Amino acid sequence: MLKETAGEKTVSLRDIDRGSGSDDFECRLEAALADRPLTLVLDMAEVELLSSTIVAMLLWARRQCAAQGVDIVVGRPSRRCRDALERTGLLRVVSTGSGHGSQSRFGLAPASVH
């Protein structure tokens, strides 16, 4: 799991969430957002394949975060997942090196507000 910094919460997104439905993920996300973090990190280290269910969960998380003014970033995606996120336009690559050895992260493109 990624190390959390001040104002940051981390929620793991896992392939197993696909099989059990997204209820567990939604509960974990809601619990993390209840703490009013400045940034939510979706740790994708355990996601091997970017399925339509995983994409739906990412978009749901993005909407929830946007509604609360929380920045959202994707942490530790596999090369395959990162490439799929970039190809679909879901991800803009953003370097966020914090200077203390943290892994590079990738930011989700901002949601358009209508």
Condensed to tens digits (0 to 9), the pLDDT of residues 67-80 reads 998 888 888 888 89
What pLDDT is attached to residue 83? Answer: 86
Instruction: Sketch the domain layout of the chain as residue ranges.
Output: 8-108
Other Cβ atoms within 10 Å of 39 Cβ, number: 19
Architecture of the 8-108 domain: 2-Layer Sandwich (3.30)
Distance, CA of 82 to CA of 15 (rounded, Å): 15
Encode pLDDT of 3-55 as tens digits.
677 799 999 988 765 555 567 888 999 999 999 999 988 888 888 888 888 88
Report CA torsion sign: 57, 61, 67, 73.
negative
pTM above 0.85, yes or no: no
What one-letter code names the amino acid at 90? L
Three-state DSSP at 4 gives coil
